[in-house]
């Protein structure tokens, strides 16, 4: 999969808790950095505030 910074993808990781916020499978994310096989993405919570997830594997995005 060819990934670039700024791409919008879907997170395919089972629902998990991140800093007190549930991130559900299928959440829309934006790629903010790529370092080798490690990707950082940004998602918006229900109130519209941005949050960053780090250490995402490319196979967790579609």
Is 20 buried (19+), middle (13-18) or exposed (0-12) by CB count in 10 A?
A: exposed
Residues 1-59: tens digit of each pLDDT: 688 999 999 999 999 999 999 999 999 999 999 998 899 999 999 899 999 999 999 99
Q: Count CA atoms within 13 Å of residue 12 on its CB side.
A: 7
Residues 48-58: tens digit of each pLDDT: 999 999 999 99
């Amino acid at each position: 999969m060819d990934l670039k910074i700024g791409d919008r993808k879907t997170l395919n990781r089972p629902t998990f808790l991140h800093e007190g916020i549930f991130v559900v499978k299928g959440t829309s994310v934006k790629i903010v950095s790529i370092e080798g096989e490690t990707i950082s993405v940004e998602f918006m919570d229900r109130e519209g505030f941005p949050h960053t997830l780090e250490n995402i594997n490319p196979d967790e995005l579609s």
